């Protein structure tokens, strides 16, 4: 759930936004980046990495409020500047610069591309991505003759995690971070929260539609007990459901889980929640029926191009009613690509899904199980053994350090124990209705690791533009974030000027 779009100039005033006319769309630019920042023998291998920069408000390096906002690219191709209003206005209101860069391997930013495979996937890692970003930030400081400019890194979800991790690993480059909906404790197993993600999905659903979770549970039980022919007919699938569980029912069940996860992440503002609409459709069919699942799936995808509902094959003998549900369109690209991937909240589809599946196979190990007790799904515990088998079949790769590489390299065990672990000046924001809040930082740690909670918030809603239906807790969160970052900018500017950078 990423809000991308054209940059809008605005001024943050007391938690509200006064909008100004938008500047023209930003032209794409490309940065010559090393393929491998950590291998001197690959010095002659480079690739062009997409980025966008907005300097329309730049008042020059001599401006005492000069600064840079950097938004790390996340797990998708980039079509323009992320529409993260608080981060953009923080810079433009001070005469600063806003930069964002596409994550390596997503979109066209592919080292040793354009193809993706064993020859180059080993160059995909969080460490390489952070080095890409640090290289661009440092080069931008030099270009604008502003070594004293403090940098705010910020983003939501994976992008938010990268912002926080950059503050840890590159403190001389990034002065502070806003990590919105950044589930760092779901980056490694071992934190005892394997079932919390889908429990929050279920609770958020029950809050807005009390009868929906039991109806979902009953419908899934019916699906598990039904044969493939019946499921194909009742759900109006475009192709017969495979009779083997792994390639048939599991694919379909995963798609249902993914849809509920997506709906929960977008569950804001409450008065316009997609949960209400989708549960209303599901509940309109007989309790526990396969038709209820058909109505649920069809509602989400009837307006989506390329995934879900589409016309059946053009063969004149086709008797499939239109439109049908095409589950194969939601599969990842690459060897043994399926709907089921290493991220049980969903990897997306196509090439992006293949790339994220690799990241979630090697470093970003997310234990997202279900138990049919605290959640409305079927019993399916996550195991490292399943993850390893899946990743070997897909990429011939295994989770690093038994899946706990990021816990080790990013100090997550210390952070979980409420020790700073080298982090400072990081805001961790979470919405209680967001399933990813299961892995978030929820309490202040010391004076400069600040946790902000939004009772009605969903996935990084504090980064979204102001909405007439915003709830008071989200409005207050944006205001507090702005105040904290403003204070830190004053401190960071003074520190950099004292160093005579």
Q: Are 393 and 336 in contact (CB under 8 A)?
A: yes
C-alpha to C-alpha distances, 270 to 200, 214, 275, 451, nearest whole angstrom: 15, 21, 9, 22
Task: Tell me which of 76, 109, 125, 157 is the catalytic residue.
Answer: 157
Residue 215, classed as helix, strand or coil, is helix
What is the rounded distance in angstroms from the CA atom of residue 266 to the CA atom of residue 435?
Answer: 10
Cβ contacts of residue 134 below 8 Å, gap of 6+? Answer: 166, 170, 173, 174
Please say if 434 is a catalytic residue. Answer: yes
What is the rounded distance in angstroms from the CA atom of residue 374 to the CA atom of residue 381?
Answer: 13
What is the rounded distance in angstroms from the CA atom of residue 149 to the CA atom of residue 147?
Answer: 6
Opening angle at CA 174, ends 168 and 175, nearest 5: 95
What is the rounded distance in angstroms from the CA atom of residue 440 to the CA atom of residue 213?
Answer: 24
Q: Are 3 and 19 in contact (CB under 8 A)?
A: no
Please say if 157 is a catalytic residue. Answer: yes
Task: Please give the structure tokens belonging to residue 397.
Answer: 């790769």
Q: Are 466 and 85 in contact (CB under 8 A)?
A: yes
- What are the b/e assignments for 104-121, b being 16+ CB within 10 Å? bbbbbbbbbeeebeeebb
C-alpha to C-alpha distances, 94 to 97, 377, 501, nearest whole angstrom: 9, 48, 20
Task: Please give the structure tokens belonging to residue 299.
Answer: 């509602």
- Cα 4 from chain centre: 12
Please say if 287 is a catalytic residue. Answer: no
Nearest to 87 by CA among 501, 462, 475: 462
- Cα 133 from chain centre: 18
Nearest to 156 by CA among 427, 489, 449: 427
Task: Tell me which of 103, 390, 459, 460 is the catalytic residue.
Answer: 459
What is the rounded distance in angstroms from the CA atom of residue 238 to the CA atom of residue 320?
Answer: 7
* Cα Rg, the chain, nearest whole Å: 23
Handedness of CA 291, 296, 301, 306 (dihedral sign): negative
What is the rounded distance in angstroms from the CA atom of residue 113 to the CA atom of residue 123?
Answer: 11
Task: Tell me which of 434, 437, 460, 470 is the catalytic residue.
Answer: 434
User: Which residues form the catalytic set?
Assistant: 157, 434, 459
């Amino acid at each position: 759930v990423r809000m991308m779009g054209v940059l809008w100039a605005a001024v943050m005033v007391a938690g509200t936004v006064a909008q100004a006319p938008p500047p023209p769309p930003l032209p794409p630019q490309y940065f010559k980046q090393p393929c491998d920042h950590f291998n001197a023998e690959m010095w002659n291998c480079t690739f062009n990495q997409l980025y966008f920069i907005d300097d329309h408000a730049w008042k020059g390096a001599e401006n005492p409020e000069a600064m840079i906002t950097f938004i790390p690219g996340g797990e998708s191709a980039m079509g323009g500047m992320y529409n993260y209003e608080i981060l953009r206005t923080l810079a433009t209101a001070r005469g600063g610069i806003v930069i964002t860069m596409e994550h390596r391997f997503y979109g066209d930013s592919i080292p040793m591309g354009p193809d993706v495979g064993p020859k180059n996937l080993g160059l995909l890692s969080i460490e390489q991505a952070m080095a890409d970003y640090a290289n661009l930030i440092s080069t931008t400081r030099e270009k604008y003759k502003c070594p004293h400019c403090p940098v705010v890194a910020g983003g939501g979800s994976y992008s938010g995690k990268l912002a926080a991790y950059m503050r840890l690993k590159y403190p001389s480059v990034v002065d502070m971070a806003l990590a919105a909906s950044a589930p760092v404790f779901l980056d490694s197993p071992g934190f005892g929260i394997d079932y919390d993600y889908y429990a929050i999905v279920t609770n958020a659903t029950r809050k807005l539609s009390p009868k929906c979770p039991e109806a979902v549970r009953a419908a899934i039980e019916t699906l598990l007990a039904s044969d493939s022919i019946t499921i194909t007919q009742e759900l109006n699938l475009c192709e017969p459901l495979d009779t083997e569980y792994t390639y048939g029912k599991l694919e379909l069940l995963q798609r249902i889980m993914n849809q509920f996860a997506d709906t929960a992440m977008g569950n804001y503002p409450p008065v316009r929640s997609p949960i209400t609409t989708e549960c209303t459709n599901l509940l309109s069919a007989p309790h526990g029926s396969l038709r209820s699942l058909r109505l649920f799936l069809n509602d989400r995808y009837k307006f989506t191009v390329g995934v879900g509902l589409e016309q059946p094959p053009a063969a004149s003998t086709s008797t499939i009613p239109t439109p049908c549900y095409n589950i194969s369109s939601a599969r990842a690209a690459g060897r043994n690509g399926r709907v089921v991937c290493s991220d049980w909240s969903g990897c997306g589809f196509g090439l992006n899904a293949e790339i994220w599946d690799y990241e979630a196979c090697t470093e970003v190990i997310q234990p997202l199980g279900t138990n049919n007790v605290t959640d409305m799904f079927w019993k399916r515990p996550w195991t490292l053994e399943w993850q390893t088998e899946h990743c070997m079949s897909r990429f011939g790769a295994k989770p690093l350090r038994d899946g706990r590489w990021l816990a080790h390299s990013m100090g997550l065990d210390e952070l979980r124990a409420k020790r700073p672990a080298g982090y400072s000046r990081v805001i961790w924001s979470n919405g209680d209705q967001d399933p990813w809040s299961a892995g978030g930082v929820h309490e202040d740690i010391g004076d400069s690791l600040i946790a902000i909670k939004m009772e009605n918030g969903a996935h990084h809603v504090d980064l979204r533009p102001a909405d007439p239906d915003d709830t008071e807790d989200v409005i207050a969160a944006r205001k507090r974030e702005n105040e904290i970052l403003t204070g830190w900018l004053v401190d960071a500017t003074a520190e950099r000027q004292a160093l005579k950078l």
